[in-house]
Amino acid sequence: MADTPELADEMIAGRRADVSVGLPDDMPPWMHRTIVVIDTFSQWIGHLVSWLTLPLMLAMVYEVTARYAFTAPTIWAYDLSRMIYGAFFVLGAGYALSKGVHIRSDFLYRKWSVKTQGRVDTVCYLVFYFPAMLVFMWVASKWAWTAIERGERGMDTAWMPLLGPVRACLPFGIAFLLIQGVSELLKSIHAARAGRWPQ
């Protein structure tokens, strides 16, 4: 009974081991090197981005202390926490993709053979993922550049922070997703050929 997975475990994407665990021996050397370099890069970015939790936590602790202990709420903590969390979310998306923790509805997918899964993933990455990410990158880059060039400010709070820095995080986050997408595409190609996922 202990080996039976929880229902919740079956509903989330499988978490993957670190790239240092190793890849299959039958994988072509160029593919192996590319996956290791990209996954290592994504891991490095993920660890770097995780440090954003410290200023986020400090801003929230300061706000709660100032508001409830001294009856002196800030005008900047809400905006700052929202912007840091947004940056954290988009900049860490590539790392999350590398670890297989993005939400996916795989009630059909998990019943397929590994080769079928690999073929479907390969097609989906080529037909949907990369074209959509490239369009998203183009739109987000224009949006961020416009905010920086015009000095746009948030108008929904009294602090009115500059929006350029946080909007600039979006093209970087999409770039990290595109880079990690190359690794995921190569893994799906290997799964389609060899019948097993590189872990």
- Which SS3 state, helix, strand or coil, does residue 153 take? strand
pLDDT band at 197 (very low <50, low <70, confident <90, very high): confident
Give the Å distances, CA to CA, from 45 to 23, 90, 91, 107, 119: 21, 12, 8, 31, 29
pLDDT band at 10 (very low <50, low <70, confident <90, very high): very low
Count Cβ atoms below 10 Å from residue 184 Cβ, excluding itself.
21
- pLDDT at residue 1 in the model: 46
- Which SS3 state, helix, strand or coil, does residue 162 take? strand
- pLDDT at residue 7 in the model: 47
Which of 17 and 87 is assigned the larger pLDDT?
Answer: 87
Domain boundaries in the chain? 26-102+109-194
pLDDT band at 14 (very low <50, low <70, confident <90, very high): low
Contacts of 62 (CB under 8 A, 6+ apart): 74, 77
- Which SS3 state, helix, strand or coil, does residue 105 take? coil
For 151-190, what is each residue's pLDDT tens digit? 999 888 888 999 999 999 999 999 999 999 999 999 999 9
Pair of tokens at residue 106: 């795989």
Q: Is the whole model's pTM more than 0.75, yes or no?
A: yes
Residue 86 has pLDDT above 80, yes or no: yes
pLDDT band at 83 (very low <50, low <70, confident <90, very high): very high
As beta bridge partners, residue 153 has 162
Residue type at 158 in one-letter notation? A
Does residue 35 contact residue 179 with C-beta atoms inside 8 Å?
no
Residue 80 has pLDDT above 80, yes or no: yes
Count Cβ atoms below 10 Å from residue 174 Cβ, excluding itself.
23
Which of 106 and 122 is assigned the larger pLDDT?
Answer: 122
For 18-34, what is each residue's pLDDT tens digit? 665 667 778 889 999 99
Mean pLDDT to the nearest integer, 54-65: 95
Does residue 96 contact residue 117 with C-beta atoms inside 8 Å?
no
